[in-house]
């Protein structure tokens, strides 16, 4: 790691909030949390962020919210964070007993009056965006430092390394940094000219422990989002004698509906389900007792189709198919596999399926994800993952996570195993 630090020295950008006022805007249009986030990032800066008592007082004074409204809180597997710059929470105002993740699907935060609550991200509510007004938002520092030194400098004398939110800010920094051709920036979602570097940590940890370490000392566990990232990862691990954790994890609780990728608002799992038995249960069935179970998607069952515009919303098809085949059939002749939004619809389907004991519904599970994501629900692009032959097999793994071998090939292991790990080290900005 010392050798890596010696080689990578660039000037950098700091972001500056001193003298910049933060303004909050209440948008009355009802959106899901993710839709609200996209709207705020396109039209303002981001969903509302609260870092202190002063921020919270300013927000309550600026926006009189008596009903529920989304703010920038989201649950990132192990911790609540802010949408803006993916920052950890340093101040909170949760209601008594919250957050409680009721029903297992409350991963986004909203405010109501003077407190916060966790809610299903797919619920529709008004939302609060924020703006920043002021001058000298970005400061270019032409002293050469490595990324960690640059981050420390910016946090000591300004706010942090810069986050690029849009093309206008990118153009502004391109002008400021001339005649230099490279400069450090903070982590951002902008991909033009962006590279990820990796650091191998030889200390043995579980996947969760490794994630915590990387987020504290670097950015996150290693993520691969391009061919350049893949090459950099290979270079980082080629001297490694055994497997090492990367940022891949398999989330057995992230169930969704096939229809419009809709999140679950109502659920009726059988006791102890879903359990991902034997590591291959990624699709949902309704049982004859009206409860749900997770099952291997290759099993053959009758199925329910959903008709959005038909007189009969639910149609039972008694011919047996795999889940994927059933989905294809329903999308060809109806709207999609059945989506169940309340107990009444659940009972309706249960009556239709008799005398059969099991039938596919539209439930499926997003499988592999990256630890480093704006939201836990962001799916993995597998374009740049090279799995070992026969992997991922997930045999008997109720909670598998991803590992890399010395050649850069990826496989799965139980997340509680202890291994070395790879952290994402920095992002580099070129013009």
Q: Is the pLDDT of residue 8 over 50?
A: no
Helix (H) or strand (E) holding 299: none
State the Cα torsion 292-295-298-301 to the nearest 10°. -40
Can you tell me the mean pLDDT for 76-104?
79
Q: What string of DSSP letters covers 401-416?
A: EEEE-TTS-EEEEETT
The pLDDT of residue 382: 56
Band (308; pLDDT cuts 50, 70, 90): confident
The CATH superfamily holding the domain 21-133 is: Mannose-Binding Protein A, subunit A (3.10.100.10)
Residue 3 has pLDDT above 50, yes or no: no
pLDDT per position as a tens digit, 361-415: 999 886 677 776 544 444 455 556 778 888 877 655 567 788 888 777 888 888 8
- CA 103 and chain centroid, separation: 19
CATH topology of domain 196-251+368-427: Mannose-Binding Protein A; Chain A (3.10.100)
What are the boundaries of each domain within the chain?
A: 9-17+143-184, 21-133, 196-251+368-427, 256-276+285-364
351: pLDDT strictly greater than 50: yes
Among 60-74, 338-352, 372-386, 389-403, the minimum mean pLDDT is found in 372-386
Distance CA(309)–CA(312), nearest Å, equals: 8
- Higher-scoring residue by pLDDT: 235, 16: 235
pLDDT in tens, 168-219: 666 776 777 777 666 666 543 333 334 567 888 888 999 999 988 988 888 7
Q: What are the phi and psi torsion angles at 244 (to 5°)?
A: -145, 145
Whole-number mean pLDDT of the chain? 77
Mean pLDDT, residues 253-281: 81
User: Per-residue pLDDT for 317 more than 90?
Assistant: yes
Residue scoring higher pLDDT (74 or 252): 74
- Distance between CA atoms of 8 and 184, rounded to whole angstroms? 10
Give the contacts of 320 (CB within 8 A, at least 6 positions apart): 300, 301, 302
Q: Could you give the CA distance from residue 93 to residue 111 in angstroms, rounded to a whole number? A: 9
Contacts of 67 (CB under 8 A, 6+ apart): 112, 126
Give every CB contact of residue 180 below 8 A, 6+ residues apart in sequence. Answer: 11, 142
Comparing 21-133 with 196-251+368-427, is the CATH topology the same? yes
């Amino acid at each position: 790691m010392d050798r890596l630090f010696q080689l990578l020295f660039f000037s950098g950008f700091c972001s500056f909030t001193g003298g910049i006022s933060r303004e909050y805007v209440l948008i009355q249009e009802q959106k899901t949390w993710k839709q609200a986030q996209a709207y705020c990032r396109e039209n303002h800066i981001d969903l509302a962020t609260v870092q202190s008592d002063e921020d919270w007082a300013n927000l309550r004074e600026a926006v009189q919210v008596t009903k529920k409204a989304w703010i920038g809180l989201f649950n990132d597997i192990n911790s609540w964070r802010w949408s803006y710059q993916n920052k950890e929470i340093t101040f909170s105002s949760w209601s008594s007993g919250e957050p409680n993740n009721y029903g297992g699907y409350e991963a986004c935060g909203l405010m109501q009056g003077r407190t916060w609550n966790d809610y299903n991200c797919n619920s529709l509510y008004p939302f609060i965006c924020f703006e920043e007004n002021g001058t000298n938002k970005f400061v270019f520092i032409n002293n050469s430092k490595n990324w960690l030194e640059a981050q420390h400098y910016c946090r000591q004398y300004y706010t942090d390394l810069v986050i690029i939110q849009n093309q206008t800010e990118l153009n502004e920094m391109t002008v400021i940094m001339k005649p230099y051709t490279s400069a450090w920036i903070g982590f951002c979602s902008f991909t033009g000219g962006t590279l990820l570097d990796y650091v191998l940590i030889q200390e043995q940890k579980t996947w969760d422990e490794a994630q915590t370490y990387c987020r504290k000392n670097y950015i996150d566990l290693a993520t691969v989002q391009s061919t350049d990232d893949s090459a950099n990862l290979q270079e980082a691990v080629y001297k490694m004698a055994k497997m090492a954790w990367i940022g891949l994890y398999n989330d057995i609780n992230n169930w969704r509906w096939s229809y419009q990728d809709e999140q679950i608002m109502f659920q009726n799992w059988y006791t102890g389900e879903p359990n991902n038995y034997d590591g291959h249960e990624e699709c949902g069935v309704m049982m004859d007792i009206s409860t749900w179970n997770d099952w291997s998607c290759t099993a053959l069952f009758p199925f329910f189709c959903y008709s959005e515009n038909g007189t009969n919303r639910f149609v039972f098809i008694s011919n047996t198919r795999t889940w994927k085949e059933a989905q294809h059939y329903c999308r060809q002749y109806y709207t999609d596999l059945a989506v169940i939004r309340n107990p009444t619809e659940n009972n309706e389907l249960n009556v239709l399926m008799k005398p059969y004991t099991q039938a596919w519904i539209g439930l499926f599970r997003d499988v592999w994800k990256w630890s480093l994501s704006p939201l836990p629900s962001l799916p993995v692009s597998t374009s740049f993952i090279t799995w070992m032959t026969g992997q991922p097999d997930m045999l008997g793994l109720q909670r598998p996570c991803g590992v890399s071998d010395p050649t850069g090939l990826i496989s799965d292991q139980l997340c509680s195993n202890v291994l070395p790990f790879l952290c994402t080290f920095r992002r580099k900005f070129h013009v």
